[in-house]
Amino acid sequence: MIVIYTSPSCSSCKKVKKWFEEQNIPFKEKNIFASVLNPNELKDILAKSENGTEDIISMRSNIMKEGNVDIDSMSVNQLIEFIRKNPSVLKRPIIVDDRRIQVGYNEEEIRSFIPRAQRIAAMSCPKFNCGDCDDCISEDELKMIKSA
């Protein structure tokens, strides 16, 4: 299941949700301000991020700027508690599935969340690249699908 961590006023979060809805891909939305984040969810996000905290923590957030916070000196458990108490430090949206994570809205990278069966079905359009139907894909999209 795809989980999208969002905040209500985030325009990128709205774009991501709209994209998943348009692709008919089910997802679960978690508003980071509506409930306290689960430590296991945060561990999963950290484990999947290539660059650790750099990928998910916004150094531009007020807490990070004003608080003189040194996240590099925190243990994993301290970091998780810090994020749970200060969810506004997270970059948004954060999209997570069982294998990958994406932070922010990136039009090209988000396509990796299209289920493989759906990508293969799109390639089977008899009018490949005709542009007349919703099932068509461009040659660039085909290359991206094959490389995923």
Q: Which of 8, 84, 7 is nearest to 46 (CA)?
A: 84
* Active-site entry in 10, 13, 125, 130: 10
Per-position b or e across 60-90, b if 16+ CB within 10 A of its CB: ebeebeeeebebeeeeeeebbebbeebbebb
125 in active site: no
Q: Report yes or no: 49 and 67 within 8 Å, Cβ to Cβ.
A: no
The residues near 98 (Cβ < 8 Å, ≥ 6 apart) are: 1
Give Cα 54 distance to the centre of its chain. Answer: 15
Neighbours of 13 (CB within 10 A): 23
Residues recognised as catalytic? 10
